[in-house]
Amino acid sequence: MTKTTPQDPTSTFRLDGKVALVTGGSRGLGKQMINAFARVGADVVIASRKEEACKALASEVENETGQRALAVGCHVGHWDECDVLAQRALEHFGRVDVLVNNAGMSPVYPSVLDISEELYDKVLGVNLKGAFRLTAVLGSAMLEGAGGSIIGVSSVAAAQPSPGEIPYGAAKAGLQNLTKSFARTFAPKVRVNCIMPGAFMTDISKAWPKATVEQLHKTIPLGRGGAPEEIVGAALYLASDASRYTTGTILKVDGGAAYSSG
């Protein structure tokens, strides 16, 4: 009787031959995901408002991994720029297999009365409108092609918003709703999931007041903010065939900070 060799369980996390697009991809959690995707075999599209930063990372990725990288300057709060981003990615690589809607922003405001219409629209545009448009366009292309995986990047503010992130929390809650509705819209060929991160110690966190960081240590069950690279496991799982039976899911990566994901 011939014995079958067990499959290496790590092989399902590979992205060989795939193309992954990450918005907000030039720094922070987006940069971590870009580097991780390239290191497991994916060609990548790096999108953010800062095109020069995207180009610098693209050059770094190509030199260090040998994978192809396309840099695209894009403000995802603008519908037409989302369409151009999708078109450029599809024309350059012929396909997009993984989309990560990671771009986000949460400006500080002194009070709710100081939230201008411009600020409100900008926050909803970057965090929600762009994700909707890119998911609609690239998800439709995936549906017509070989399928794919779409990942939203939400926030614990979607479930437990603070007074300082009201528009942001509303937008991220909307992103989680989009996750569930698009998962049904594009099933069964396209999986749509969402990562709900807590506080991560990216470059943005360097501007946080010391008291804020100390409070995080007290209130987060694991006693600290996340290291940027700690987002990679969740991203690789949802992007790859390792999660082929997972869709419509909100995956918390928050050190235990949020008590619920709804």
For 162-219, what is each residue's pLDDT tens digit?
A: 899 999 999 999 999 999 999 999 999 999 999 999 988 887 777 777 777 788 788 8
Please report which confidence band the pLDDT of residue 8 belongs to, taking 50, 70 and 90 as the band edges.
confident
Question: Fold for domain 13-251?
Answer: Rossmann fold (3.40.50)
Q: Containing H/E element for 196? A: strand 190-197
Is 60 exceeded by the pLDDT of residue 244? yes
* Distance in angstroms (rounded) separating the CA atoms of residues 26 and 23: 8
Q: Where does 58-161 show beta strands of DSSP type E?
A: 69-73, 98-101, 148-153
**β-bridge pairing 148-153 and 190-197:** parallel
Report residue 213: phi and psi, to 5°. -65, -40
Measured CA to CA in angstroms, residue 242 lies from 85, 112, 119, 149, 236 at distances of 27, 43, 39, 11, 8
Is 60 exceeded by the pLDDT of residue 1? no
Q: Does the reported pTM lie above 0.85?
A: yes
User: Are 70 and 44 contacting, i.e. CB atoms less than 8 angstroms apart?
Assistant: yes
Measured CA to CA in angstroms, residue 7 lies from 4, 11, 194, 239 at distances of 9, 8, 28, 19
Is 70 exceeded by the pLDDT of residue 5? no
For 216-235, what is each residue's pLDDT tens digit?
A: 788 899 999 899 999 999 99
Print burial letters for 61-92: b (CB count within 10 Å at least 16), e (below 16): beeebebbbbbbbbbbbbeebbeebbebbbee
pLDDT, residue 261, reads 54
Q: Containing H/E element for 21? A: strand 19-23
The catalytic residues are: 168
Measured CA to CA in angstroms, residue 64 lies from 58, 67, 68 at distances of 10, 8, 11
User: Within its chain, how far is the Cα of 255 from the centroid?
Assistant: 18
Helices (H) then strands (E): counts for the chain: 8, 7
The per-residue pLDDT of the chain, averaged, comes to 94
User: Within its chain, how far is the Cα of 107 from the centroid?
Assistant: 19
Query: How many other C-beta atoms lie within 10 A of the C-beta of residue 204?
Result: 13
For 22-68, what is each residue's pLDDT tens digit?
A: 999 999 999 999 999 999 999 999 999 999 999 999 999 999 999 99
User: Are 42 and 15 contacting, i.e. CB atoms less than 8 angstroms apart?
Assistant: yes
Q: Containing H/E element for 250? A: strand 250-253
Is 70 exceeded by the pLDDT of residue 262? no
For 101-112, what is each residue's pLDDT tens digit?
A: 999 999 999 999
